[in-house]
Every structure is written in structure tokens, then in C-alpha cells.
Chain A
Amino acid sequence: MRLAALCALMFLSCCESRPAKQPGGKPAAAGPAIVVRNLDTPGALVIENHGPTAMLRDRFAVESQHEGTWEDTGIDLELSGQRPRGQQETCEELRAGAGLRPARWSGWTCGGQFTQPCRQTAYIGPGTFRFVVSSCDGKHRWEGPPFELPAELPASGHAQQ
């Protein structure tokens, strides 16, 4: 009895770990499949959806690498277009097969994507950084590959598109 019960439990746990099947025997559609891809210019990126339509947080993060670990810089960048500062976050839909090209980040903590009033702004290069895109519900995050920011740009390097 005990051996049979043990086998049954093992069978159940085994099956539950496999993806559920739709009628017809085809595997269920995969979850969100967002790819963050760096472009040649440091700070430029594209975001591609290789899966079903996804709802993304309308801002994405910048992480910096230090001694092998990644840390959030606290810089939030806009997925598409410049929004008034202080405006609450919204969700942005990215359809299956579609892509987004956010404005390039220049490495500045303020005005890094768009010309905007800045009283405190710092260039946080040189260093290794990556972009992180999140789903609107916060359940998924997609990390881009690392890229290098060069040594400090001239002061006029704010918000280079």
C-alpha cells in the first residue's frame, strides 16, 4: 500500500512539472518572450516580442555591474516617448512579433533620454550596464546583455537621441 501510494505521488508530481497540453496534444503557448537587444551605440536598444502579446511596464530600469553583481541604479527610462515627470506609471502593450525602440540613454541620471529640466544630474559612466524590462504585473523581467559606457562625455552630452 505504501509503495503504491509513493509511486502515485511520484507520478503526480512528475506530470505536474510538465507543461499542460491543449486539446489535440499540442503544448500550451509559452509565456511572455521579450528580448532586449543592444544596438551598436552604447545606451541604444530594441525590445522585441518573440511570444504572445505582452503588457509591459512603461518604464525600464538600468542596472550597473560591480564586482560581478548587478545593482539597480535607480534610473527609470521611458519605453516610448517622453512623459511628464511625476506621471504615474502605466502599462504598454507590445504585440506578438512587434518591437520597440526606446530613446537612447546617454548615461546621465537626469535628461538621459530626453531634454528636460535638470538641477541635479550625473554621468555615471564609465562602467558596465544592462537594461531590464518588466511585465506590467511585475511577475516577469527580461534582462538585456551588458554594454559598456565610455568615460565621461562632454557636458553637452545630455539626451543624445
Chain B
Amino acid sequence: MQLTETNWAMYRGQHGTDGSLFIQRGRAPARVMKVCRDIADTWDPLFTYTGGKHAYSHKALPPDPFPLSVYVLAKDSPADSYLVEQKNELTEKKNYLDEVQIELEFCTILAVRDPASVVHFLAHVYWNVRWHYTFHPTRYPPGGNTSDWTVTKIDGGTGGTMRRFNSPPTDRRVAQALAAGPWLSCNDVASRAANAEDPGGPGRHAYKNRGHTPDVRR
């Protein structure tokens, strides 16, 4: 499960009248769902990836008597990206990437399905990854070379943590997300949020003032 997401970007023009853009992917209306099922496909509503019978993370346990010792390895590489420049539709000028903050929080659950198809949650891990950077062109217009940009990491806003629990999750948000009902995979939710930043989209806010400071919580 993915529980929370912070995801926004700020763009600024070279000159004061070039304007600025604020892209919000982590809040409604761009983000259509807060909690989502972090699965690779929609074949199975619970298990991470079920491609074929011999899936990456869906394994049959040996029919041995209990207790069983099982080694489980979970991997994930959440990723996102922003264009380095966009055209401001109010000023018709290019605006350049200025700041990005992305925070993703997950709860990965070890689950088993018994022969009666009842799912049992055995353990879980809370983990998060965070990126917070500012960007400034070293020349205008900046090209595609890394030397065209000064990229500065904001300490405290970049990193990751995790904590493991050898028990089923009791988080109310997990129970709500697992309840029957319409749902989207987190990949779908993230893609829809990215699409919402197109001109005219609900995740895009254009300003005539280069120095506009948005409320990133909205």
C-alpha cells in the first residue's frame, strides 16, 4: 500500500515578467486517491506482481508441516520525474525547474493466501523515500548538460527510513484501502496525477509573477 504522497514542482522564468508555474501532483484534484494499492498490475487486487504462475513476488509455500521458515525479499524502486522546462501559458515564456519535493510513504505487507483463498497478513514494513532539491540554470537557456544546472539537495528533505513489524498491520488506512470497492493501482494514480499537469489541467497553476510563492500543501 502507498499511504501518503507529497509531490510538487515549482518553475520560474528567467526574468520577472516571465512568470512561474506550480505543479501539484500530490493533492486533489490531480491525485485522485490518497491511499492506493501499490501493485504492478490489476490481475490480482492484493499481491504485488502476479505476472504468470511463477511471478516475481507470488510464491507457493512448500506443503511442509508448520512451523515454516520462509525467506522473503521485497524490492521496489519508486520513481518520478519532471520536465526541466515548461512554457508558461500566461506569459508565453519558458519557465525553468526551480524546486521539487517528493515524499512517498508505503506499508508493505507480507501476506499469504491459504488453500481456502483466505488471505492472512503476517508482518509489515513502513518505509518512505524523500527527495527535496532546488535547481538553478547556470546559463540561459539551459541545455541538457548537467553543467547547465546547479542542483542543490535540501538536507532533511532527502533520504529514506523503514521500520519492520512482525505482526499484521493495524493501520486504519490499510483496512480501508483493502476493503472492497473501486480502486486504482498506485501506478495509475501517479500517472493520472502527472497527466493533470498538462496546460489546462487541474494540477497546474500558472502565474504572471516570477516570484510567486505557492502554498505547497494545497
Contact = CB atoms under 8 A, between A and B. Distances in A.
A120 B48 contact: yes
A72 B51 contact: yes
A89 B39 CA distance: 21
B180 to A, nearest CB: 21
- Most B CB contacts (10 A, CB to CB) among A75, A109, A111 go to A109
Interface size bucket, A side?
Answer: 20 to 34
A155 interface: yes
Interface residues of B, number: 37
B50 A117 contact: no
Contacts of A115: 81
A120 B188 contact: no
Nearest to A111: B79
Interface in A89-120: 108-111, 115-120
A13 B125 CA distance: 66
A64 to B, nearest CB: 6
Contact of A118 (B52, B56, B190, B192): B190
B133 interface: no
B186 to A, nearest CB: 4
Contact of A110 (B40, B81, B106, B194): B40
Contacts of A120: 38-40, 48-49, 76, 78, 185-187
A161 interface: no
A119 B75 contact: no
B186 A119 contact: yes
A73 interface: yes
Contact of B56 (A84, A85, A124): A124
Closest 4 CB pairs of A and B: A71-B52, A85-B191, A117-B190, A119-B186
Interface of A: 64, 66, 71-75, 84-86, 108-111, 115-122, 124, 155, 158
13 contacts: A73-B51, A74-B40, A74-B50, A74-B52, A85-B187, A85-B191, A85-B192, A117-B80, A119-B187, A120-B39, A122-B49, A122-B75, A124-B56
